[in-house]
Structure 1
Amino acid sequence: MKQLATALVGALALTSLASAWAVEYRGTFKDDGRDIPVVLDIEPAAGLGDRAGKVRFNGNWRCGFDLEYSGANGQVNSYGLDGAGAGLCGQLAQGYLQSSQGGGGLQVQLFTQRNKLAYSLTLLPSGK
């Protein structure tokens, strides 16, 4: 029983360390003239099909998605948007996010399920 407890504590410690490796980015985009704050947490070491972080939209949107790593094409990483897409996020439900480094930050594009570009923005690492 003691070994099981030790193993569980170790697993929990590794889980909390893994999330500590996530890189957080922040920025905004315009929706009908309003600034919508965005927070994106990315796990850089995520493998194909792995949970790779979260994207959260604040302000009037107040919703978000889990990210599932879909792969890379050159310098562009793709992530599926997992979740129901409550409220104003509904238009992005079952869509995807693409990111690439450049232009002084992380270039992000959000696509609908029908592969239509919905939003394009630049996010900066937190603390900058």
Structure 2
Amino acid sequence: MVGLKIDDLIVGQKALYSKTITETDVYLFAGISGDINPAHVNNEYAKDTFFKERIAHGILSASLISAVIGMQLPGPGTIYVSQTLKFLSPVHFGDTISASVEVKEILKDKNRVLLNTSCKNQNNVEVLVGEAIVLPPK
């Protein structure tokens, strides 16, 4: 299974992946990453925070972008070079997050692709935005 090569990509091409973030996802991510910040895993602590309830890790939502890049656009064999992120809104347990990737620029001579990346919740609220540079498979 090999993803799209640079000659198969066009500016404006898009792909999307959606997932509902569960309590289990947050606890598994906390265990894998080592980030057991009480804002994510402790109900009593979270009641006294700005958000008044536990929220998902921002990077958990950002990881859905990796799913789009690695499995769809450009897809299997793609190598991440860089990713910028700006976190705009919290992700709550039960939110359905849609990660989208759009081809912004193609640098054929360097076999690099600049992608606009974003995640939105079920209410179409943008929770994060950024840009990625990737190397599509050869």
Q: Which range, TM-score by smaller chain?
A: 0.3 to 0.5
Which has a greater percent of strand?
A: 1
Which has a greater percent of helix?
A: 2
Ranked by relative contact order (alpha carbons within 8 Å, sequence separation 6 or more), the top structure is 2
| TM-score normalised over the length of structure 1 | 0.35
